[in-house]
């Protein structure tokens, strides 16, 4: 049994649940970055919708417009909360990715997860230089390396919100 962080463990090893969480988040990495980009692009438009709705409510003095404005504000706040979680996840994943020491494992993780290619596309991309079993092993080694780095960074203690 490994010591807990409080007991001074210098090189903690991620458990199976932490390895699976890392793999799950890696599988969502490309989608998270796309949604973050979309939010950044359209946040100003969403804010303008809320402002326009408030201006219309003042002119018409109808409850319907007030509800639309409140709903738009709630929507923006929900999307901002999700955006902030995604920022946290993707930043930590990039940190852990940069710490993978094995070049082939880092390349396999980059192609498979960071660039968002399918498992089959990843196998085909590396096939000329590595066997399928080696590619699978390198993806697994890279994921475990990242999970161990995330554990060392205290990521799993901070990761209290589920998708």
Average of per-residue pLDDT across 104-127: 94
Sign of the torsion angle spanned by Cα atoms 9, 15, 19, 22: negative
Q: Are 84 and 32 in contact (CB under 8 A)?
A: no
What is the average pLDDT value for the chain, to the nearest integer? 84
Q: Are 73 and 44 in contact (CB under 8 A)?
A: no
Q: Which residue has the higher pLDDT, 72 or 102?
A: 102
| pLDDT band per the 50, 70, 90 thresholds, residue 1 | very low
Q: Are 156 and 21 in contact (CB under 8 A)?
A: yes
The predicted pLDDT at position 22 comes to: 97
Tens of pLDDT, residue by residue over 20-50, are 999 999 999 999 999 999 988 887 776 677 6
Whole-prediction pTM value? 0.77
Q: Are 79 and 46 in contact (CB under 8 A)?
A: yes
Provide the token pair at 52.
């326009």
The predicted pLDDT at position 60 comes to: 55
């Amino acid at each position: 049994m490994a010591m807990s962080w409080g007991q001074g463990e210098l090189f903690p090893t991620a458990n199976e649940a932490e390895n699976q969480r890392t793999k799950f988040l890696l599988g969502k990495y490309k989608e998270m970055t796309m949604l973050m980009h979309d939010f950044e692009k359209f946040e100003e438009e969403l804010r303008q919708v809320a402002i326009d709705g408030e201006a219309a409510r003042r002119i018409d003095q109808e409850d319907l417009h007030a509800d639309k404005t409140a709903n738009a504000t709630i929507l923006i706040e929900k999307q901002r909360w999700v955006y902030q979680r995604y920022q946290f996840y993707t930043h930590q994943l990039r940190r852990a990715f940069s710490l993978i020491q094995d070049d082939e494992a880092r390349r396999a993780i980059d192609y498979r997860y960071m660039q968002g290619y399918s498992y089959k596309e990843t196998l085909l991309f590396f096939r000329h230089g590595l066997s399928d079993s080696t590619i699978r092993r390198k993806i697994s080694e890279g994921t475990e390396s990242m999970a161990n780095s995330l554990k060392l960074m205290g990521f799993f203690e901070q990761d209290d919100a589920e998708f």
